[in-house]
Chains A and B, each alone.
Chain A
Amino acid sequence: MAEESKKTESKTSEQEISEDVKELVIARLEVLSPDKKFSIGSNEKEFTRDELIESVKNEDEIGQKVIDLELTFLRALKDGTLLKEILTPEE
């Protein structure tokens, strides 16, 4: 698992993230409360807002997860999926 983390941490050309995206994600994180924490996946460590921002800046494994989540949400917001999901009950 440690090897897997290292692999994820090392950037590949496909995974490179544009500065615009990073700036957008950081701006969205900056409005969060600094007093609360996040549990993310299989990490024993918990993260504060400022740690998430640092991770995005460094594009490390956690930063990639944060960016993935934010982009998934923004895409759903933009194409209407989010509202549809919220307003449409499951059968």
Chain B
Amino acid sequence: MAGSMLITRPENDDATTYLSKWSENIIKEAKNKGLKVIDLWRNKANRERVIGILGKVNPRFVMFNGHGSENCVMGHNMEIIIEGGDEKAFDSKIIFSRSCKSAKILGQTTITEGAIAYLGYKEDFWFKYNPKKVFRPLEDKTAELFLEPSNYLGIALLKGHTTGLSNNKSKEHFRKNMEKLLVEGPLAEDYDCIRYLYWDMIHQVCLGNQDAVL
């Protein structure tokens, strides 16, 4: 797989730190597949760099981690890095935005303006975590219930699956985690996570071309 990938990994609070650390597996997979990875980590996850790279390097795959809203995605220290009006920057790109609600409006307009596909969440992305693990997020079994299925969306794309199938495979991972908790029963430590996993799963969408590949 040739080409490049842009990923943003702000780390200004627990949530963004978890998303950033869990994204390391996606970066590893991308490198294994031969993609050049442009990793905008911490304060490099800013608007100037993102817009510059989208224009100059023109990566086919873009992954955002961070907070967001219906009409924007944020970078480090809550700087708005992409918002309504920037959609042209995504022409001919596949975007996976692990940020809340951005698929609701920004994702739709991005597709209208020429993006191939926009994968993300139409509502808030919830996850639960163990505060004792904030310095080792990859060892947090509670957060893993949410972040591994979400991660799998990016991994599936990098494995060469189509956009639609990648979304479905990711949902399958959410489903397996819910099933596992159901089988373990109400006394399981994270049994209550079923409701939050269900919420994330039903609001994860693939907009645009369902058959595109990286």
Contact = CB atoms under 8 A, between A and B. Distances in A.
Q: Do A and B come from one complex?
A: yes
Interface of A: 1, 31-33, 35-46, 65, 69-70, 72-73, 76, 82, 85-87, 89-91
A42 B14 CA distance: 12
Given A36-B131, A42-B100, A86-B182, A69 B74 contact: no
Interface stretch (B1-9, B41-49, B53-61, B172-180): B172-180
Interface of B: 12-15, 18, 67-69, 74, 78, 99-101, 124-132, 142, 167-169, 171-172, 175, 178-179, 182, 189, 192, 194-196, 198-199, 201-202
Contacts of A33: 189, 192
Contacts of B195: 69-70, 73
A86 B124 contact: no
A90 B170 CA distance: 10
Nearest to A91: B168
A89 B172 contact: yes
22 contacts: A31-B192, A33-B189, A36-B131, A37-B128, A38-B129, A39-B14, A39-B18, A39-B125, A39-B126, A39-B127, A42-B67, A42-B69, A42-B100, A42-B124, A44-B15, A46-B13, A46-B15, A69-B195, A73-B198, A85-B202, A86-B178, A90-B167
Contact of B175 (A37, A39, A76, A85): A85
B13 A90 contact: no
A1 B83 CA distance: 13
Nearest to B125: A41
A40 to B, nearest CB: 6
A84 to B, nearest CB: 11
B179 A44 contact: no
Given A41-B124, A46-B15, A36 B68 contact: no
A37 B18 CA distance: 12
Which of A41, A65, A82 gathers the greatest number of chain B CB atoms within 10 Å?
Answer: A41
Nearest to B202: A85
Contact of A69 (B99, B182, B199): B199
A41 B101 contact: yes
A87 to B, nearest CB: 8
Contacts of B132: 35
A86 B175 contact: yes
Contacts of A72: 198-199, 202
A32 B199 CA distance: 17
A33 B130 CA distance: 10
A81 to B, nearest CB: 9
A90 B128 CA distance: 25
A38 B124 CA distance: 12
B175 A41 contact: no
B126 A38 contact: yes
Given A44-B12, A46-B15, A86-B179, 12 more contacts: A36-B129, A36-B130, A41-B126, A42-B67, A42-B69, A45-B13, A72-B198, A76-B198, A86-B175, A86-B182, A87-B179, A90-B171
